[in-house]
Amino acid sequence: MTHKYSIVMPDKSPRVAILLAAYNGVDFIEQQLETILCQNGVSVIIFISVDLSTDGSYTWCCDFAKNRNNIHVLPYGERFGGAAKNFFRLVRDVDFVGFDYIAFADQDDIWSSDKLFHGIKQMESEKSEAYSASVIAFWEDGREKLIDKSQPQRELDYLFEAAGPGCTYIFTNKAAVLIKKYLFDFPELNDFVLHDWLSYAILRHSKVNWFIDSIPKMRYRQHDSNQVGANASIKGKIYRAKYVLSGQGFRCIDSLVSVLDIPSINLLTRMGILKLAFNASQLRRRRIDQFLAFSALLIYAIKGPNK
């Protein structure tokens, strides 16, 4: 059964629905929520979906939401098994009527007080329907690192990567409704591995103008329970390389090609894979990642797509 949630906002500030996916998050979620509630220049309503947890996250969120009319906790009890399915649930179940913008939020980051206002102003300036940004990754031992995601977009980069961490994403109502439509029209997409990658692919393929900001407006927490993380370490790069070369990554790409109906791309034959490999400059934004995409496709072609 699909639950619908819509709110009428009283003032004239940009009205933003925040979709927050939580799981075993009691150690960090309060700080994240406080930084969302302290956003300047916008009116926010927070919708929280809690994956089946063992640390009392749902009870904590319900208690925190008491006497706050701008926080709503969705019904609890389903195991999503990953952030992507939890976000897809939020996109499907929250009614976007009455909101100007929709934004994703993780449970454990720290937002600058002008994160949303800055992003919306950039969207207006760039005439874009979707926004993402670079972030400052930080670790509990005090390390920090700029994760720059603002390299020039490429023709087909959306088939091979997201636009950056999903917690930076902001959509116009129209763009968010389009993502929702795809999730309902193509139920198999609700099993897609990453919500940020899928959102980027849907909108870029639909010719939606997407702006990637070089200015970070949030601190992106890194710890052992990060499902994906900043990919700043050698370990993270090795994990992703193994994922792609195992064929799972290419199956995700092939599912995008099928749903988005891109007949010029064929990952089922060696010739089709090689053709894509030699177009690697259009598959990723960073040069090093273009080289890695070329190498992965070449290895995949040699191994054979059906092996």
Q: Number of helices (H) and strands (E) in the chain: give both, helices first.
A: 10, 11
pLDDT digits over 136-169, tens only?
A: 999 999 999 999 999 999 999 999 999 999 999 9
| AA letter at 149 | K
pLDDT band at 246 (very low <50, low <70, confident <90, very high): low
| Cα→Cα distances 211→96, 127, 180, 206, Å | 21, 9, 20, 14
pLDDT of residue 3: 46
Give pLDDT tens digits for 9-36: 556 899 999 999 999 999 999 999 999 9
Flag the least confident range among 48-57, 161-170, 224-233: 224-233
Where are the domains positioned within the chain? 15-222, 234-303
Enumerate the β-bridge partners of residue 213: 133
Query: What is the three-state SS of 77-106?
Result: CCCCCCHHHHHHHHHHHECCCCCCEEEEEC
Residue 1 has pLDDT above 50, yes or no: no
Say whether 56 sits in a helix, a strand or coil: coil
**Single pTM value for the model:** 0.91
Among 120, 103, 76, 108, CA closest to 170: 103
Closest CA relative to residue 210, chosen from 84, 282, 123 = 123
- Asked if pLDDT for residue 225 goes beyond 80, the answer is no
pLDDT band of residue 231 (cuts 50, 70, 90) is: low
Matching CATH number, 15-222, of 1.10.760.10, 2.40.40.20, 3.90.550.10, 3.40.50.300: 3.90.550.10
Strands 210-213 and 130-133: parallel
Residue 104: name the closest of 77, 127, 133 by CA: 133
Higher-scoring residue by pLDDT: 293, 100: 100
Determine the Cα–Cα distance for residues 212 and 147; give it in Å rounded to an integer: 12
What pLDDT score was predicted for residue 304?
76
Determine how β-strand 110-111 pairs with β-strand 218-222: antiparallel
Neighbours of 181 (CB within 10 A): 11
Block residue for tokens 């930080």: 138
**Amino acid symbol at 262:** I
Interatomic CA distance for residues 14 and 2, integer angstroms: 27
Contact (CB, 8 A) for 41 and 114: yes
Ranking 96-100, 208-212, 288-292 by mean pLDDT, the lowest is 288-292
Residue 8 pLDDT greater than 80, yes or no: no
CA 141: distance to chain centroid? 26
Q: What is the pLDDT of residues 66-89, one digit of tens each?
A: 989 999 999 999 999 999 999 999
